[in-house]
Amino acid sequence: MKFKSQLFDFVFREWLLIISAFSFLLISIYVNQLPSYSIQEIEILLILFALFVTIKGFENSGLVLKISKIVEGSNFVGLKLILLTFVLSMLVTNDVALIFIVPLTLKINFNKKDMMIILEALAANAGSALTPIGNPQNLFIYWNYNLKPGQFISSIWLFSFVFIFILCLTTFLLKINSDISGQTSSNGINKLSVSYAILFVLVILIVVHAIPVYAISFVFLFVLLFDRISLKIDYLLLLTFFFFFGFAENLKFVLASEIKHSGHVFILSALLSQVISNVPATLIFAKFTSHWKALLWGSNAGGFGSLFGSLANLIAYRLYAANVNNGNIKNFTLKFIGIGYIAFFIGAGLYFFFIV
């Protein structure tokens, strides 16, 4: 019985890994060959690894948590948390931003805590869309299509800024705020925080093609010599990317004809994201389309909607469900999905009205 429970927990936690591995196996059997990995794909995996390690170092140093604590115990706490989530997601990915923000939110006595968590999930997806390192699919699109920072941001800024305006306005109109005064205590930051800040800048410079990829070796060397605990990252997530790179590589032999119309790329990538999340959907469509802007919009709009639209959605949902015992999970689930699809259709409307 215990084994069955552990197996169920593993499947629930790692469903994306299981789907990716199964898809990798099936497509390899179907086309009768193992996929080949390009140098570019290996570089992306190394950059993701370095980002995960650097972010783990920030987490262990206490720096991000201390920044988060600043917003507690003052006026307009809900609005500040939305803006902080938006900004953090641009810098440390939407998943990591929510890992820090949601537990903090759960400790505060909000009048509409369930709505606050949902709006934070939307803010994380909206903010992460704005930068190449905001989420994994952005990094892949940026690197795969050899884009420049200004080119990337200018193509998606409307998406992010319309949503942050809507979310801030919603938070204000709903009068979401805390019922406490005074800041909660937080632990100090250790001396490694400065080192990780430097390493983080180093990784960003690699991402924007300012310095060569081999400079990433400094990150690996630092953690091996001074902070091996930061190597405890989500290796299963990296393995998931590995499987989906291979799956997408072999899938192009099945989908031989290129999708010609950018509107089709947007619709199909957004819809597929609802089932398998926006990261693997991006990896699949990038193999056989040159319409990177449509893919960028489709994958980020596809992050809204279902719980599976992005891993950020699952993180926010699971953290709330695991820590709030008020018998209101069903209503929370319906709200999460309903509001998510409102955002999904707003994103689609923005694309077809202003981009196509």
Alpha carbons 191 and 78: distance in angstroms, whole number: 31
Q: Which amino acid is at 264?
A: H
Say if CB 50 and CB 217 are below 8 A apart: no
For 251, phi then psi, to 5°, come to: -65, -25
Q: Residue 57: which residues within 8 A CB-CB, separation 6 or more? A: 192, 195, 196, 199, 223, 227, 230
Name residue, tokens 């759960």. 106
pLDDT number for residue 130:
96
**pLDDT tens, per residue, the chain with 356 residues:** 666 667 776 776 676 678 888 888 988 888 888 888 878 788 888 888 888 888 888 778 876 666 656 666 567 888 989 999 999 899 878 987 887 788 778 877 777 888 999 999 999 999 999 999 899 899 999 988 999 999 999 999 999 999 999 999 999 888 876 655 444 455 566 778 888 888 988 988 887 778 888 899 999 999 999 888 889 887 887 888 788 788 877 776 665 555 666 777 898 889 888 877 888 888 888 877 889 999 999 999 999 998 888 888 988 887 787 777 666 778 888 999 999 999 999 999 999 999 87
User: What is the b/e burial string over 149-185, where b = at least 16 CB atoms within 10 angstroms of the residue's CB?
Assistant: eeebeebbeebbebbbebbbebbeeeebbbeeeeeee
pTM here is 0.76
Say if CB 105 and CB 118 are below 8 A apart: no
pLDDT number for residue 134:
92
Alpha carbons 74 and 61: distance in angstroms, whole number: 25
Supply 129's token pair.
């869309």
Alpha helices in 75-180 (DSSP H): 77-92, 94-106, 113-128, 136-144, 149-173
Alpha carbons 161 and 175: distance in angstroms, whole number: 21
pLDDT number for residue 350:
96
**DSSP code at position 73:** T
pLDDT number for residue 101:
85
pLDDT number for residue 182:
46
Q: Which amino acid is at 333?
A: T
Alpha carbons 159 and 353: distance in angstroms, whole number: 12
Angle, CA of 218, 219 and 222, to the nearest 5°:
80
Alpha carbons 176 and 165: distance in angstroms, whole number: 15
Alpha carbons 309 and 138: distance in angstroms, whole number: 15
Supply 353's token pair.
């009205």
